[in-house]
């Protein structure tokens, strides 16, 4: 038997082949399994890398939004709790818009609260309509309270809009304030009134003069409209609309030739006629002269009935040489004739005031005549120097309450009468003033008399020798003289009866 074909060797050979083939299959399957696992693991790893950070980022963003939302709401509520007056919170959520409204609890402290609430509601409605619907919005409506001073509190509707900024991951803020501000008098708990600010009709009449002058000054041709301005209805404490500010006031105007419906005056322009308790006192700082020194003596020289083309210029020369400022109460009929003299009086720093037009006794004529005497002189002086006279001396000192109301200016009387109109003697005039002058007085003279002009230089020397400082009457009275009152000196003020 051939040894290579031995049956046992043949079986062994097949067995080895089968064993080798099986091992190869096992190895292949192992490699395949490992490769499959690696591929799957890679796919899973790739998937995990792609999706897990997004989910984590989303969670982080949500958490960040919630934290900043909570912080914002906490700040809003804390700010409202710190207000000096208590409020109640009303919350409403509509989709992505959350609205918080804070209403004052003590509603009776704000008489105008219904009006404020109406405007606040309107502001919120507009904010809601203009807000994007897909973005988180917080609308905060409240009444802003500001203490202007010890006597005035202001209230104003305010809406704050907070919008979530996805890129910045934070809230952006926008504030909208109402157009109307309510001012409340803390003494009366009533809306602030012109009565609070101006106190009296006398002060309002003084302000009327400032308004008239301002309208004329701002007009390209004041002379063309002066009649309408002088006849414009007066400001009244009850019937005049106004807008209050801490440093100024806007007053509603009746129909007038300028077309202006309101005029704004700084308190500095009307410093002598406003109640300092109801304004920012710093706004009138230095607007009024310092009070007169109680340790000094003061006197004012005033001259009536001019101007006169002969005597008034000579008097002006003397006053200029002596460095004295005086007050000239002029007659309108003389102003018209001698405008150049009037201009010189004003240009040299003296006060130009009114003494009527033709020197009648105003208490003995009708109201229309009084009005014409005053207005015609106003027009004459305005035409001469571009300014209305603010002070008035009635002829013979004759005045009553009705006449004073028509005049509408402070009434400047006198306390020392030189009697130059009677003596027509320079030495007599000098002696009369020497004998009767005393502190805080107003001296009456007339610049139409040559003898008066002859006496003035010596009068000034004697007064200064006696320790007097000579001031024009407006300065002696502290620039605070008001209509319906008459003045004999800075300490002698009397309501016209």
- Whether residues 177 and 243 share a domain: the answer is no
- Whether residues 275 and 313 share a domain: the answer is no
Q: If we measure between CA atoms, which residue out of 446, 452, 417 comes closest to residue 433? A: 417
Which residue in the block uniquely carries the two structure tokens 């099986």?
22
Determine the Cα–Cα distance for residues 216 and 260; give it in Å rounded to an integer.
12
Active-site residue, 446 included = yes
pLDDT-based confidence at residue 11 (cuts at 50, 70, 90):
very low
- Whether residues 249 and 309 share a domain: the answer is no
Residues 6+ apart with CB under 8 A from 336: 380
- What integer pLDDT is reported at residue 2 of this predicted model? 45
Summarize the confidence of residues 78-96 as an average pLDDT: 88
- Whether residues 135 and 171 share a domain: the answer is yes
CA 43 to chain centre: 74
- Whether residues 144 and 244 share a domain: the answer is no
- What integer pLDDT is reported at residue 447 of this predicted model? 98
In this structure, what CATH number is given to the domain that contains residue 433? 3.20.20.370
46 or 145, which is more confident? Answer: 145
What residue spans of 323-472 are helical by DSSP H?
332-337, 339-347, 367-385, 401-407, 420-423, 426-436, 450-465
In this structure, what CATH number is given to the domain that contains residue 93? 3.30.565
Its pTM stands at: 0.81
Does 3 map to a domain?
no
- Whether residues 261 and 385 share a domain: the answer is no
In this structure, what CATH number is given to the domain that contains residue 245? 3.90.640
Among residues 158, 190, 222, the one where a domain terminates is 190
- Whether residues 215 and 184 share a domain: the answer is no
State the helix-helix crossing angle for 201-218 and 222-230, rounded to 10 degrees. Answer: 160
Does 90 map to a domain?
yes
pLDDT-based confidence at residue 3 (cuts at 50, 70, 90):
very low
Q: pLDDT tens-digit profile of 462-497?
A: 999 999 999 999 999 999 999 999 999 999 999 999
The contacts found for 374-377 with CB under 8 angstroms, 24 or more apart, are 374/406, 374/407, 374/408, 374/409, 375/227, 375/230, 375/231, 376/332, 377/330, 377/331, 377/332, 377/335
Determine the Cα–Cα distance for residues 451 and 34; give it in Å rounded to an integer.
136
Given 304, 305, 420, 454, the catalytic residue: 304
pLDDT-based confidence at residue 408 (cuts at 50, 70, 90):
very high
- Whether residues 209 and 355 share a domain: the answer is no
Does 467 map to a domain?
yes
Task: Average the pLDDT over each of 118-122, 256-260, 330-334, 344-348 and give the range with the smallest value.
Answer: 256-260
- Whether residues 266 and 411 share a domain: the answer is no
- Whether residues 134 and 215 share a domain: the answer is no
What residue spans of 82-145 are helical by DSSP H?
113-130
pLDDT-based confidence at residue 116 (cuts at 50, 70, 90):
very high
Does 464 map to a domain?
yes
Does 69 map to a domain?
no
- Whether residues 311 and 456 share a domain: the answer is yes
Among residues 190, 221, 241, the one where a domain terminates is 190
63 or 443, which is more confident? Answer: 443
- What integer pLDDT is reported at residue 51 of this predicted model? 52
Measured CA to CA in angstroms, residue 283 lies from 186, 204, 266, 279, 481 at distances of 21, 19, 8, 8, 20
Determine the Cα–Cα distance for residues 349 and 474; give it in Å rounded to an integer.
12
Give the pair of three-digit tokens for residue 3: 């040894």
- What integer pLDDT is reported at residue 60 of this predicted model? 78
pLDDT(7) > 50: no
Active-site residue, 485 included = no
- What integer pLDDT is reported at residue 23 of this predicted model? 56
Which residue in the block uniquely carries the two structure tokens 């007097």?
468
CA 398 to chain centre: 40
3-class SS of residue 446? strand
Q: pLDDT tens-digit profile of 279-312?
A: 999 999 999 999 999 999 999 999 999 999 999 9
Q: pLDDT tens-digit profile of 151-160?
A: 999 999 999 9
Given 446, 447, 449, 454, the catalytic residue: 446
Among residues 246, 263, 284, the one where a domain terminates is 284
Q: If we measure between CA atoms, which residue out of 299, 310, 318 comes closest to residue 440? A: 299
Q: pLDDT tens-digit profile of 424-466?
A: 999 999 999 999 999 999 999 999 999 999 999 999 999 999 9
3-class SS of residue 206? helix
Beta-bridge partners for 418: none
CA 413 to chain centre: 36
Residue 165 structural domain: 81-190
Summarize the confidence of residues 45-70 as an average pLDDT: 71
- Whether residues 358 and 479 share a domain: the answer is yes
Residue 388 CB coordination number (10 Å): 23
State the helix-helix crossing angle for 339-347 and 311-322, rounded to 10 degrees. Answer: 10
Does 151 map to a domain?
yes
pLDDT-based confidence at residue 1 (cuts at 50, 70, 90):
very low
3-class SS of residue 215? helix
What DSSP designation does 219 have?
Answer: S
How many domains, in total, are found in the chain? Answer: 3
Does 460 map to a domain?
yes
**What average pLDDT is seen over the chain?**
90
């Amino acid at each position: 038997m051939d040894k290579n074909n031995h049956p046992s060797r043949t079986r062994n050979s097949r067995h080895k082949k089968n064993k080798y083939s099986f091992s190869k299959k096992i190895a292949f399957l192992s490699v395949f399994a490992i490769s499959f696992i690696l591929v799957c693991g890679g796919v899973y790893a790739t998937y995990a890398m792609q999706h897990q950070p997004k989910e984590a980022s989303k969670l982080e963003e949500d958490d960040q939004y919630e934290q900043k939302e909570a912080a914002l709401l906490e700040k809003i509520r804390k700010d409202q709790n710190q207000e000096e007056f208590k409020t109640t919170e009303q919350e409403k959520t509509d989709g992505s818009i959350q609205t918080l409204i804070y209403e004052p609890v003590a509603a009776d402290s704000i008489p105008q609260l219904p009006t404020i609430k109406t405007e606040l509601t309107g502001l919120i409605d507009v904010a809601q309509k203009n807000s994007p619907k897909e973005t988180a919005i917080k609308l905060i409506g409240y009444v802003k309270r500001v203490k202007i001073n010890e006597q005035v509190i202001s209230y104003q509707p305010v809406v704050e809009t907070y919008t979530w900024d996805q890129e910045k991951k934070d809230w952006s803020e926008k504030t909208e304030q109402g157009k109307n501000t309510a001012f409340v008098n803390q003494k009366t708990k009533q809306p602030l009134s012109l009565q609070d600010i101006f106190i009296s009709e006398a002060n309002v009449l003084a302000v009327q003069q400032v308004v008239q002058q301002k309208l004329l000054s701002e007009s390209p041709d004041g002379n063309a409209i002066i009649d309408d301005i002088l006849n414009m209805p007066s400001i009244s404490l009850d019937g005049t609309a106004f807008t209050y500010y801490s440093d100024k006031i806007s007053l509603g105007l009746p129909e007038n030739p300028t077309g202006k419906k309101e005029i704004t005056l700084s308190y500095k322009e009307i410093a002598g006629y406003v109640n300092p308790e109801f304004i920012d006192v710093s706004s009138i700082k230095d607007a009024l002269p310092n009070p007169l020194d109680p340790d000094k003596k003061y006197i004012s020289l005033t001259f009536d009935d001019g101007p006169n083309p002969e005597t008034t210029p000579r008097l002006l020369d003397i006053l200029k040489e002596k460095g004295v400022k005086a007050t000239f109460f002029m007659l309108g009929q003389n102003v018209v004739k001698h405008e150049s003299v009037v201009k010189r009086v004003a240009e040299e720093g003296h006060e130009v005031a009114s003494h009527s037009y033709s020197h009648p006794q105003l208490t003995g004529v009708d109201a229309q005549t009084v009005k014409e005497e005053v207005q015609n002189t106003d027009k004459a002086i305005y035409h001469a120097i571009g300014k209305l006279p603010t002070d008035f001396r009635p002829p013979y000192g004759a005045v009553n309450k009705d006449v004073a109301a028509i005049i509408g200016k402070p009434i400047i009387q006198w306390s020392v009468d030189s009697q130059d109109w009677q003596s027509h003697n320079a030495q007599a005039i000098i002696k009369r003033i020497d004998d009767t002058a005393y502190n805080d007085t107003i001296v009456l003279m007339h610049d139409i008399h040559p003898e008066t002009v002859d006496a003035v230089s010596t009068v000034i020397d004697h007064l200064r020798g006696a320790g007097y400082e000579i001031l024009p009457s407006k300065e002696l009275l502290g620039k605070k003289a008001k209509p319906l009152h008459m003045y004999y000196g800075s300490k002698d003020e009397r309501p016209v009866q």
